[in-house]
Amino acid sequence: MVLKQAINRKKILMLLSCTVCIVIYSCHKDSKVIPADYYFKANKNNIGWGTVGSTATLPGDSLQLSGLWAGGGEHIFFKIKFKDTGSYPVTLNQAAFFTTDASGNQTSYYRVDTTRNNMITIKSYNTKTRIISGIFQLSVLKNSNDPNEYVPIDFSGGVFRVKLPD
């Protein structure tokens, strides 16, 4: 009788161990990526800042990498002629930062500061998942009709991860 109870306990323990292993394995993050995994993050004038990232193809061979701040109203974008991994210098019309109101109307626009070193670097590109990740450095100036208004924004230590459109 004692032997039967010991064998039953071993079976129960083994079954329980297998169940725990299955549950743990099934909770493991697989290769599927959820939209929250796409982002742009940087220090905006030395304060942590981040957005939800996205991409779009443009006519020709260009690609737009963009982010919308989760708090709403702040947008960043880069336009590049994407070929593969590597560094892409960012010129006047290839990037910008702008703000919008609750209705989506643009309230301010910041253009690339051409006197600064602006760069986006594609560190990795997976052709199977179509996920691009990398780093960026961007300095922008507020477009204003007032020649005395000088409003710079520096995005330093920028990182991003986005998925290319299918």
pLDDT tens digits for range 87-117? 999 999 999 999 999 888 999 999 999 999 9
Quick: pLDDT tens for 119-149: 999 999 999 999 999 999 999 999 888 777 8
Alpha-carbon distance of 116 to 146, in angstroms, equals 21
Based on the number of CB atoms within 10 Å of its own CB, is 123 exposed (0-12), middle (13-18) or buried (19 or more)?
middle
pTM value surpassing 0.85: no
Q: Of 33, 48, 108, 24, which Cα lies nearest the Cα of 73?
A: 108
- What pLDDT is attached to residue 146? 79
- Confidence label for 85 from pLDDT (cuts 50, 70 and 90): very high
44 and 26 in a common domain: no
What b/e string do you get for 62-85 counting C-beta neighbours within 10 Å, with b at 16 or more?
ebbbbbbbeeeebbbbbbbebeee
Residues 20 and 39 in one domain: no
74/114 same-domain check: yes
Q: Among 6-10, 71-75, 154-158, whose mean pLDDT is lowest?
A: 6-10
- Cα 53 to Cα 153: distance, rounded to the nearest angstrom: 19
pLDDT range class, residue 36, cuts 50, 70, 90: low
Residues 19 and 43 in one domain: no
* 20-30 tens-digit pLDDT: 333 333 343 43
3-state secondary structure of 77: strand
Domain shared by 50 and 6, yes or no: no
Specify whether 4 is located in the same domain as 74.
no
- Report residue 108: phi and psi, to 5°: -155, 155
Assess whether 158 and 102 both reside in one domain: yes
- Which residue is listed with tokens 């007032």? 146
Contact 70, 56 (CB under 8 A): no
Q: How many domains does the chain have?
A: 2
| Residues 24, 44 within the same domain | no
Distance from C-alpha of 149 to C-alpha of 81, rounded to nearest angstrom = 33
Same domain, 55 and 2: no
Residues 60 and 110 in one domain: yes
Q: Are both 113 and 152 inside the same structural domain?
A: yes
Average pLDDT, stretch 8-25? 42
With CA atoms as reference, report the closest residue to 119 among 166, 155, 71, 163: 155
Q: Are residues 15 and 86 in the same domain?
A: no
Structural domain span for residue 7: 1-30
